[in-house]
Structure 1
Amino acid sequence: MQIRVAGWEDLADIYAIYCPYVRETAVSFETKEPSFAQFRRRFASVTADYPWLVAVDGETVIGYAYASRAFERAAYDWCCDLAIYFRMESAHHGMASVLYEALMDMLRLQNVRIVYALVTGENVRSIRFHERMAFQRAGCLHACGYKLGKWHDVLWLEKELYIQQEPAAFLPWRDLEEGAVAAVLAKANQER
């Protein structure tokens, strides 16, 4: 298995991984699958500033993780949301933590200070995963989403990547040096 930067050629596989979460679970709060064209625009928007990584087994994309802007105001430039998905039928054998850590290493290069994850309250597996990854609970949004015939709580989890009094400017991920990106991926692929 290997971790690499997602490309346009991966988009159909990424879309196929995501859609069952929309249809069958409250992991995603989308209640209707986005069209492939909408998903393509989403990918383009996210990857303009943030990394989108895939975990591949041979030639098959089995999972992905990406970061996106957490809030709109400029003072939030150093914060972002994270998302991670794997094929529902996939046994990812510890790849989730390696993939997530690689994503956070990329974000550190971009001068991102804090990352967030929003996790549905009954998704105990994801909550435990985030806690193992040193995320802390920042709050709970009670009964804030209605999907699949019931109300769902959402836990707001956070992790500080670094503390710096005067932060360096946020760097769009595509402005990072190729060598730095390659080093993060090499480290991740050695750790799996």
Structure 2
Amino acid sequence: MDKQVTLRVARLSDASRLLDIYTPYIKDTVITFECSVPSVEEFQQRMVNIQKKYPYIVAERSQQIVGYAYLSSFVGRDAYDWAAETSIYVDPADRHGGIGGRLYQAIEDISRVMGILNLNACIGYPKSPDDPHLNTNSADFHHHLGYRLVGKFHDCGYKFGHWYDMIWMEKMLGDHPANPAPVKSFNDVRSVIAVKYNIK
């Protein structure tokens, strides 16, 4: 991992750069099931909604963002509060350099401080090994980080003229007590995160 890469909390002013990273995933892959590139304004609003409760972290090298990761609500019902969905995107030019693993480690550390117990990843999955738009790299990446497959939905996404499957993978971050403490918002623990994990 490049030691010159640092992590910090995303700002709304980062939206254009984050969208630049995200756009190739929309246009060229099925890593995201989104088919149309959102406007910068829509992307900013998504960031605002996420940051009301959850972390949104960017990785920088030489003051240039090279990747980002965030948590979001899993399903959205109160009983799911101790679970969260993960998302991560790394600049294609910087993939396989350890940035994804470092971002995910930060997300896991923050989740533990918040009191989140389950991390869930929704991942597009190819139906053939020679698919030009999707491979198993994302599933393999999550497996390497300790996620396990818990479900598969068949032919649930249509993109580039083909049907795609989707899998759910999960990682448990701790025990599940009979009376869990309420989950804290990221803003409530941000000062702790900054000191403990050096995320500005």
TM-score band by shorter chain is over 0.9
Q: Secondary structure at the match of 2:198?
A: helix
**Contact 1:52–1:66, Cα closer than 8 Å, also in 2:** yes
Using the TM superposition, give the Cα deviation of residue 181 of structure 1 relative to its aligned residue in structure 2, in angstroms: 3.3
Match of 1:76 in 2: 80
Match of 1:179 in 2: 192
Which residue of the other structure, out of 12, 17, 28, is the alignment partner of 1:8? Answer: 12
Q: Distance in 2 between matches of 1:153 and 1:69?
A: 22
Moved more, 84-93 or 67-76: 84-93
What percentage of aligned pairs have identical amino acids?
32
**Contact 1:106–1:181, Cα closer than 8 Å, also in 2:** no
Q: Deviations over 1:103-134 (max 9, x none)?
A: 11101111101011011113311111100110
Q: Secondary structure at the match of 2:92?
A: coil
Gaps of 5+ in 1: none
Match of 1:52 in 2: 56
**Contact 2:154–2:166, Cα closer than 8 Å, also in 1:** yes
TM-score (norm 1): 0.92
Match of 2:130 in 1: none
User: 1:171–1:72: structure 2 CA closer, same or farther, 3 Å change rule?
Assistant: same
User: 1:73–1:129: structure 2 CA closer, same or farther, 3 Å change rule?
Assistant: same
- Is structure 2 residue 149 aligned with structure 1 residue 137? yes
Using the TM superposition, give the Cα deviation of residue 19 of structure 1 relative to its aligned residue in structure 2, in angstroms: 1.4
* RMSD between aligned residues: 1.5
Gaps of 5+ in 2: 127-134
Match of 1:124 in 2: 136
Q: Distance in 2 between matches of 1:180 and 1:57?
A: 20
Q: Which runs of structure 1 show a deviation greater than 4 angstroms over 4 or more consecutive aligned residues?
A: none
Q: Distance in 2 between matches of 1:118 and 1:124?
A: 13
**Contact 1:112–1:170, Cα closer than 8 Å, also in 2:** yes
Which residue of the other structure, out of 112, 115, 121, is the alignment partner of 1:111? Answer: 115
User: 1:63–1:155: structure 2 CA closer, same or farther, 3 Å change rule?
Assistant: same
Using the TM superposition, give the Cα deviation of residue 182 of structure 1 relative to its aligned residue in structure 2, in angstroms: 2.9
Q: Distance in 2 between matches of 1:177 and 1:62?
A: 22
User: 1:92–1:12: structure 2 CA closer, same or farther, 3 Å change rule?
Assistant: farther
**Contact 2:90–2:99, Cα closer than 8 Å, also in 1:** no
Q: Which amino acid aligns with 2:22?
A: Y
**Count of aligned pairs:** 187
Moved more, 176-185 or 25-34: 176-185
User: 1:11–1:182: structure 2 CA closer, same or farther, 3 Å change rule?
Assistant: farther
Q: Secondary structure at the match of 2:30?
A: coil
Q: Which amino acid aligns with 2:86?
A: L
**Contact 1:62–1:92, Cα closer than 8 Å, also in 2:** no
Q: Distance in 2 between matches of 1:115 and 1:185?
A: 22
**Contact 1:140–1:153, Cα closer than 8 Å, also in 2:** yes
Q: Which amino acid aligns with 2:158?
A: Y
Using the TM superposition, give the Cα deviation of residue 146 of structure 1 relative to its aligned residue in structure 2, in angstroms: 0.2
